[in-house]
A = this chain, B = another copy of it.
Amino acid sequence: MDAMENILTRRSVRRYTDRPISEETLHKLLTAAMSGPSCVNARDWSFLVVRDRETLNRMADANGRPAEPLRGAAAGILVCGDLERAFPRAKEYWVVDGAIAAENLCLAAHALGIGSVWLGTWPQMDRVQRQRELFQLPEHIVPHSLIALGYPAGEPEARGEIYEADRVHFERW
């Protein structure tokens, strides 16, 4: 798909068919996720890829009601920050870098015909803590966002106007 069209037509997809996502496709998605910029090129993230149904359900339990789509997803990817790799003078850039990785992942999914929905985790610390406990993550690995993935069941909803002129200021505020 054309790159600009891909950006403009990506939608959150919450219902999926039973079709699995192949290893090869997962590799492409993760490569896209690792392709974004990061602060001083720290690449301060890690990815936890889950396809086991029972584990997906436990991830959904841990991430609150909006995470229900995960129960029908072909895969879930927990994007995590890695504080040991984060820029020492401003470690919170890990939040920015994790978001870049996750957005690249969602855009790549759409390009490959896979639907995704972004399930917010950080900064909701109850969710962060529950994901951390579920996977017994090391202290320096911080759950950032959870992406549910699957081949779409049904058509996406129509989308309204994207551009909002009053959110743009030229030269001065």
Binding site for B on A (CB under 8 A): 1-8, 10, 12, 27-28, 30-32, 34-37, 39, 43, 45-52, 55, 89-90, 92-93, 95-100, 102-104, 106-108, 110-112, 118, 120, 122-124, 135-138, 141, 144-145, 162-164, 167-173
Q: Is chain A's interface secondary structure helix, strand, loop, or mixed overall? A: mixed
Inter-subunit contact A107/B7 (CB<8 Å): yes
- B47, B106, B124, B164: the one contacting A168 at CB < 8 Å is B47
Chain B residues whose CB sits within 8 angstroms of the CB of A110 once the complex forms: 3
Q: How many copies does the complex hold?
A: 2
- B52, B106, B163: the one contacting A31 at CB < 8 Å is B163
Chain B residues whose CB sits within 8 angstroms of the CB of A112 once the complex forms: 4
